[in-house]
Amino acid sequence: MRDFPSCFGENGVQVADSSSSASKAAQNLVTCIYQCRLRGRSCLITITWSKNLMGQGLSVGIDDSTNRCLCKVDIKPWLFSKRKGCKSLEADSSKIDIYWDLSSAKFGSGPEPLEGFYVAVVVEREMVLLLGDLSKVAYKKTNAAPISSNAIFMAKREHIFGKKVYGTKAQFCDNGQIHEVRIECDMVGLSDPCLSIRIDSKVVMQVKRLRWKFRGNQTILVDGLPVEVFWDVHNWLFGTALGNAVFMFQTCLSADKLWASHSNTDTDPTLLPWSCSQIFKGSQRQGLGFSLILYAWKNE
């Protein structure tokens, strides 16, 4: 899970200290983490899609439950003309085959394909993770046994871009509805800007007096489930032009709020629990569902 650098690592930093430097601002990245079973043991598979001036790239990494990297495959953007292939590796005495076929993939503005593709991770002829809509093609190509246990989509990190409006799509629970997520914040010429978050065009959260409440958290409801929203817009308000804001949506599977003691956004924002590793570990302990982390970059 090395591609989720400081956020989910053992030495997690605060969300405010984004791991992305200004040099990465032009990169368009989407990273997804899945919890799977590898020969009976839990593992984390990280899929990173990238897009820059060189083209589109793909990275697949497998870590064990202690965050030890078992193997990693990078398809560099300048080599992305090889839109389908297979890479065989060996880790912990297991043969791991990673297959991909993006030759007919359709992309939107982001680096993640929308349809017409598959990415498959096969361990000892058993399908461990299968992404994309070409499952029949994938099984025929890999000749793998069906998935014995479903992979759990644990987390997604995405870089989004805009001037006043930043949007993405998110599915907050398994087999749930895909929602449009819009973050709106107009700071041009305003002494006290307001932050709004919309789910499917409906305003679910507003933060006024943003210069004072530049960090905070609040609970919203999506699909009947409480979702804790954390925000940090310090760089937008007080940082450089290349600074980015960070938003995190943490699905809570119980009615109890994850951060009940911190849910009041009138709290001193410098005292809020902004360690990503703390949030992730807390979600593991409480069996929470899904984390969406958005790095929002302003287009000049």
- For the stretch 213-251, pLDDT in tens is 999 999 999 888 889 999 999 998 887 666 789 999 998
Identify the pLDDT of residue 219: 92
- On the CB side of 174, CA atoms within 13 Å amount to 9
Identify the pLDDT of residue 106: 92
Print the SS3 string covering the chain: CCCCHHHHCCCCCECCCCCCCHHHCCCEEEEEEEEEEECCEEEEEEEEEEEECCEEEEEEEEEECCCCEEEEEEECHHHCCCCEEEEEEEECCEEEEEEEECCCCEECCCCCEEECCEEEEEECCEEEEEEECCHHHHHHHHCCECCCCCCEEEEEEEEEEECCEEEEEEECCCCCCEEEEEEEECCCCCCCCCEEEEECCEEEEEECCCCCCCEEEEEEEECCEEEEEEEECHHHHHCCCCCEEEEEEEECCCCCCCCHHHCCCCCCHHHCCCEHHHHHHHHHHCCCCCEEEEEEEECC
Per-residue confidence in pLDDT tens, the chain, 300 aa:
333 333 333 322 233 334 444 444 446 899 999 998 887 788 899 999 998 887 888 999 998 877 788 889 898 776 666 788 899 988 877 899 999 999 899 988 889 999 999 999 999 889 999 999 999 999 999 999 887 667 888 899 999 999 899 999 988 877 778 899 999 998 776 677 899 999 999 999 999 989 899 999 999 998 888 899 999 999 988 876 667 899 999 987 544 444 443 333 333 333 333 444 444 444 444 455 789 999 999 876
Structure tokens at 59: 């990275």
Identify the pLDDT of residue 61: 93
Domain ranges of the chain: 28-150, 160-298
The pTM assigned to this predicted structure is 0.79
Amino acid, single-letter form, for residue 168: T
Residue 122, beta-bridge partner list: 97, 127
Q: What is the pLDDT of residues 32-61, one digit of tens each?
A: 999 988 877 888 999 999 988 878 889 999
- Using CA atoms, how far apart are residues 115 and 101, in angstroms rounded to an integer? 11
Identify the pLDDT of residue 295: 93
Identify the pLDDT of residue 173: 76
Identify the pLDDT of residue 64: 84
247 Cβ contact list (under 8 Å, min separation 6): 183, 197, 229, 230, 231, 232, 293, 294, 296
